[in-house]
Structure 1
Amino acid sequence: MLTTAFTKTFGVRHPIVQGGMQWVGRAELVAAVANSGALGMITALTQPTPDDLAKEIARTRELTDQPFGVNLTILPAITPPPYDEYRQVIIDSGIKIVETAGSNPGPHLPQFHAAGVKVLHKCTSVRHAVKAQDLGVDGISIDGFECAGHPGEDDVPGLVLIAAAAEKISIPMIASGGFADARGLVAALALGADGINMGTRFMCTEESPIHRNIKEAIVAATEVDTELIFRSLRNTARVARNSVSREVVEILSNGGQFEDVRDLVAGARGRTVYENGDPEAGIWTVGTAQGLIHDIPTVGDLVNRMVAEAEALIGERLVGVLDPINA
């Protein structure tokens, strides 16, 4: 058993978290992760209304009696979703773990903490992690440049970012970006993290609610088969390399603006990829960790394998490099 500050604080058996992924963080996957002893996250904004989120939480509870959380991504928008209503549903539903991301979690902390909810905040830089810690969040998820989605604009990979953050963060911290197996879990612990967050790896499991073709595309892909879009707009996103993402990169590299690619990057097209299984139908999110993914296991098999292999790495390989005479 791998016991860390994260497992103790957030009440889960294994220091592994399933990231809150748009269109992917649904009841079937979340419950499977929870049943495995890791921490599953429902993605709140995948649900079109707060009432739908309440129903998804209830549906998840029908599938597991283990702890799980809800991801609430807070982004600036001309017409933002009703974040306060989503927050109230989370509280009223008895959820005790929330992952916030995208913006300052401060306005939401008093209500969450008053309801006994622990808040894990996702950051892409040490400075933002320190600010979140100062605000009073209960844990940090630090995202390296390898991650799917939005890696920030500093381009710092996990090998440096995790260690740098560990020097400044005293609350539980998990590492995100580039993690897919036991080797990454052990490396994260060595760098000072208390666990890992995985998105792409959990996408590629039997219980993941995306089309089999997309899972097979992830298995077939390598670590270089992603694109970074929106670089010129200072809103970098890592997505799968396909004809659409290459076109977006070309347009923006030639001076185009968001309006010139709006239709190409529409979220509805990305959802179609997951539902219909055509990897060329739109923009869809995946990380460089796909280069480490070679199968489509059940969630339970994946987590059990990772934990067993991590324990073996720690107990055999790492201990084995010590010189018993001089140790």
Structure 2
Amino acid sequence: MSPAPAAPPRTPAAVVARTAATDLFGTRFPVVAGGLQFLADATYAAACARAGIIGFLTSNHFPDDASLRAEIRKARDLCGDLPFGVNIAMLPRSSEHERIERIVEVVAEEGVRFVETTGRSPEPYLPVLKAAGAKVMHKVPGLKYAEKAQSVGVDMVVIVGWECGGHPGPNAIGSIVNAALARQRLRIPYLIGGGIGHGAQVLAALAMGASGALMGTRFLASTEIPAHDGYKAALCAASENDTTISLWSVRNNARTLINETTRLVAELERANPDAGIGPLLPHVSGAAARRTYADGDTSRGMVYAGQALGFVSKPQSVAEIVEDLIAEFAAARAQLDACF
């Protein structure tokens, strides 16, 4: 019996817009799907890769080295020669309960090419990651933090504005201001995140000097996200008006869906703004979020989501979302071209 014919070489899809980000990651469209707490796994990262963007699986919720290593290897198997990355989230200050050093070592040992760091400065971990050949993108909630990250040697920064889900930082500065100021103050490539969920916004980010956009909320209802259908339905039913900021009293601002928990937390923060995290912790713990993802009940817990919920109207695959973004990008570009 003659041997089976070799598989044909991969033919990459046409690059829609070439930027420093698409060059760095080897993608066709300048959108990055950042880490999503407990939800960004190997299957999600691979869906992003096949759609022509890059996704980052989140590392911190894996309880040990072996489970993290297995997920990275699964992502590599699913992606083949397409790019994926690993997100490493750090608390603002180091904690004895953290596993950051071990996570960094596992990521380096596995030869992960792209790493998204967030939280405190990644400076102590850069030597290990760089020695392993990784490119490091650091996510920050303000331009001054981006300048600091630039000074310690990261390859790219992401600046998220006040509109973002998760933790937008202490200063209520929006994405459009961040984008234009970054053009003046940064020397390394940067992405803009926070409230970004439409292809026209991607074009606007490029026009202001960014190398692309980071999106999180836009992908939360994607079919590849491992969460209950009820959770996704609640996101699709929500609008840009349905989020709020909590945890301001402990300087850890968090944007989430408005629900019973956020109303209770708001009452506690107003009543005793100097009480610290203790009274709030039972209501804002990660365990509550895990229950929401599992049972779909978004009436309680901190359900992280940004103002880009205005662009989330139905469950779609990652590939469908990316194709919609590309079509919107093209339409906005044509409209802009018509002005000149």
Q: Same fold (TM over 0.5)?
A: yes
Read off the aligned partner of 1:153 and give its amino acid letter. Answer: P
Aligned to 1:304: 323
Read off the aligned partner of 2:22 and give its amino acid letter. Answer: T
Read off the aligned partner of 2:335 and give its amino acid letter. Answer: R
3-state SS in 1 of match to 2:54: coil
Question: 1:16: how far off?
Answer: 0.8
3-state SS in 2 of match to 1:232: helix
Aligned to 1:234: 251
- 1:51-70 superposed matches below 5 A: 51-65=66-80, 66-70=82-86
Name the CA distance, whole Å, in 2 between partners of 1:312 and 1:170: 30
Name the CA distance, whole Å, in 1 between partners of 2:286 and 2:116: 22
RMSD (Å) for aligned C-alpha atoms: 1.2
Name the CA distance, whole Å, in 1 between partners of 2:77 and 2:24: 25
Name the CA distance, whole Å, in 1 between partners of 2:84 and 2:314: 25
Q: Tell me, yes or no, if structure 1 residue 6 matches structure 2 residue 18.
A: no
Read off the aligned partner of 2:337 and give its amino acid letter. Answer: V
Aligned to 1:178: 195
Name the CA distance, whole Å, in 1 between partners of 2:259 and 2:218: 19
Read off the aligned partner of 2:213 and give its amino acid letter. Answer: I
Contact 1:227 1:246 in 2 (8 A): no
Q: Tell me, yes or no, if structure 1 residue 294 matches structure 2 residue 313.
A: yes
Q: Tell me, yes or no, if structure 1 residue 317 matches structure 2 residue 332.
A: no
Name the CA distance, whole Å, in 2 between partners of 1:2 and 1:80: 42
Identity of aligned residues (%): 36
Question: 1:56: how far off?
Answer: 0.6
Q: Tell me, yes or no, if structure 1 residue 49 matches structure 2 residue 67.
A: no
Q: Tell me, yes or no, if structure 1 residue 274 matches structure 2 residue 289.
A: no
Read off the aligned partner of 2:141 and give its amino acid letter. Answer: T
Name the CA distance, whole Å, in 2 between partners of 1:169 and 1:317: 29
Name the CA distance, whole Å, in 1 between partners of 2:101 and 2:88: 11
Question: 1:55: how far off?
Answer: 0.7
3-state SS in 1 of match to 2:279: helix
> Which consecutive segments of 4 or more residues in structure 1 shift more than 3 A?
none
Out of 55-64 and 150-159, give the one that drifted further.
55-64
Aligned to 1:123: 140
Question: 1:168: how far off?
Answer: 1.0
Q: Tell me, yes or no, if structure 1 residue 151 matches structure 2 residue 178.
A: no
Out of 233-242 and 95-104, give the one that drifted further.
233-242
Question: 1:79: how far off?
Answer: 2.1
Question: Size of the alignment, in residue pairs?
Answer: 321
Name the CA distance, whole Å, in 2 between partners of 1:283 and 1:309: 31
Question: 1:227: how far off?
Answer: 1.6
Name the CA distance, whole Å, in 1 between partners of 2:99 and 2:280: 27
Name the CA distance, whole Å, in 2 between partners of 1:187 and 1:249: 35
Name the CA distance, whole Å, in 1 between partners of 2:240 and 2:331: 26
- TM-score using structure 1 length: 0.95
Contact 2:111 2:133 in 1 (8 A): no
Question: 1:261: how far off?
Answer: 1.7
Name the CA distance, whole Å, in 2 between partners of 1:92 and 1:13: 28
Could you give the per-residue CA deviations for residues 244-285 of structure 1, whole angstroms, max 9, x where no partner exists?
Answer: 111101111111522112111121011110111111131121
Name the CA distance, whole Å, in 1 between partners of 2:97 and 2:267: 30
Read off the aligned partner of 1:51 and give its amino acid letter. Answer: A
Could you give the per-residue CA deviations for residues 201-239 of structure 1, whole angstroms, max 9, x where no partner exists?
Answer: 111111111111111111111111112111122111111
3-state SS in 1 of match to 2:214: strand
Read off the aligned partner of 1:64 and give its amino acid letter. Answer: C
Name the CA distance, whole Å, in 2 between partners of 1:12 and 1:50: 29
3-state SS in 2 of match to 1:260: coil
Name the CA distance, whole Å, in 1 between partners of 2:299 and 2:137: 34
3-state SS in 2 of match to 1:45: coil
Question: 1:77: how far off?
Answer: 4.7
Q: Which ranges in structure 1 are unaligned for 5 or more consecutive residues?
A: 323-327
- 1:172-211 superposed matches below 5 A: 172-211=189-228
